[in-house]
Amino acid sequence: MFPLLVALVVFAVAGIAGTALLRNLTAESGDLKQGLAHLASVRWRDFTKLVLQAMEQRGYSLVRDDDGPADGLPSDGGDLLLQRGNERILLSCKYGNALIVGAPPILGLGKAAELRGAHAAIVVTPGRFDDEARRVAGQQRVELVDGAALWPEVKPFIDHDFSADAAPQGANRNTAIAWGGAAVTAAVAWMLAQGLQTAPPEIVVAKPAVAAAPAAAARRAPAAVAPAKPGNGLIPTDPVVLERRRTETANAISTLAGVDRAFWSTQSTLLVYLATDEADPSASLCPLLERYPELAASRVQLQPPAGSQKSVRFRQCQAY
């Protein structure tokens, strides 16, 4: 029940949020598209008036020619001179349907602005500028304002609400996308909640574990500390292991007091060279041999030092 409830809540929240988000994005995109189409459809004079209103919001005012038209707009579609304080700019409106403004109208515009006493120029179009036009403008004091940048500035001066017209377009498609995504999100949420609900909790019983530890240690203790008894272990069959045991035992006996060196002369005979005539390491070397059952009954040849008058002695720690 819990996973289903989680999935329903996620589905509802994601669907409503997705629908609202896509609706707003569609409305904004459609508003810009229809707004630019409207700007491209009006007459040049009406378009220029909208641009002048936008420039007034920037603080500019039109410098009127006493001999010109009453509204101050030239009948030949020429450039306009604007003023803001002591600053003057030249405004050029490039108008047309689906207009792409290239570099030619921009060339020499900075010089033309200087001739009319302006410090810079602004070129406005409901269309867009190509890369060459932007490059040329960057070399002069010319600001380019295309349709996408212009629309937010002139929109407040247009009575018609284009976003209302754009909203219904694609509404069904956006709704389907939003609720489809919500269904996928809800399915993922259901699987996660199902996994959390069915996963068995990990229960750790601390006290039995603590109690078992001493018992286990007690069981292991005799094996760890009990001395090896001859013959109570299994003899390995691996030749490598057998040879390692033999070498290890000979090296250990070589370190005993009174022993010069020790090595295996045959498979069953350990040759021990004594350091002095009085040395007798039998009591110390037998425990080392008896660690391994296959070596416990080995014959030990005690070789007196060179030049000694004593004879060779033999020992055997265990009988076969």
Which CATH number is 147's domain given?
Answer: 3.40.1350.10
Q: What is the mean pLDDT of the chain?
A: 80
Percent share of the chain, pLDDT over 90? 32
Residue 222 lies in a domain: no
Residue 83's pLDDT is what?
95
Nearest alpha carbon to residue 289 among 273, 276, 308, 270: 270
Check pLDDT > 50 for residue 170: yes
Q: How many domains does the chain have?
A: 2
Residues 118 and 26 reside in one and the same domain: yes
**Residue-wise pLDDT tens digits, 282-302:** 889 899 998 988 888 899 999
Q: How many CB atoms lie within 10 A of CB 161?
A: 11
Check pLDDT > 50 for residue 225: no
Residue 190 lies in a domain: no
Residue 193 lies in a domain: no
Residues 271 and 144 reside in one and the same domain: no
Residues 9 and 131 reside in one and the same domain: yes
**Residue-wise pLDDT tens digits, 183-212:** 888 788 767 777 776 545 555 555 554 444
Residues 152 and 252 reside in one and the same domain: no
**Residue-wise pLDDT tens digits, 22-36:** 555 544 556 788 888
Residues 44 and 149 reside in one and the same domain: yes
- The alpha carbon dihedral of 127, 167, 28, 92 has a sign of positive
Residues 120 and 30 reside in one and the same domain: yes
State the residue range of the domain holding 255.
239-316
Distance from C-alpha of 149 to C-alpha of 125, rounded to nearest angstrom: 10
Q: pTM above the 0.95 mark? A: no
Residue 273 lies in a domain: yes
Residue 157 lies in a domain: yes
Q: Which residue has the tokens 């329903």?
A: 8
Check pLDDT > 60 for residue 215: no
Of 146, 166, 186, which residue sits at a domain end?
166
Residue 184 lies in a domain: no
Residues 11 and 149 reside in one and the same domain: yes
Distance from C-alpha of 119 to C-alpha of 78, rounded to nearest angstrom: 18
Q: For every residue of 111-140, which 3-state class applies, written as one string?
A: HHHHHCCCCEEEEECCCEECHHHHHHHHCC
**Residue-wise pLDDT tens digits, 79-110:** 899 999 999 999 999 876 557 899 998 988 98
Residue 271 lies in a domain: yes
Residues 16 and 129 reside in one and the same domain: yes
Of 182 and 132, the structure prediction assigns the larger pLDDT to: 132
Check pLDDT > 50 for residue 227: no
The CATH number of residue 243's host domain is: 3.30.300.30
Specify whether the backbone of 143 is left (phi greater than 0), alpha (psi in -120 to 50) or beta. beta
Of 126, 144, 166, which residue sits at a domain end?
166
Check pLDDT > 70 for residue 175: yes
Of 135, 166, 197, which residue sits at a domain end?
166
Distance from C-alpha of 99 to C-alpha of 169, rounded to nearest angstrom: 25
Residue 221 lies in a domain: no
Q: Provide CB contacts within 8 A for 223, sequence distance 6+.
A: none
Q: How confident is the model at residue 42 (pLDDT cuts 50, 70, 90)?
A: confident
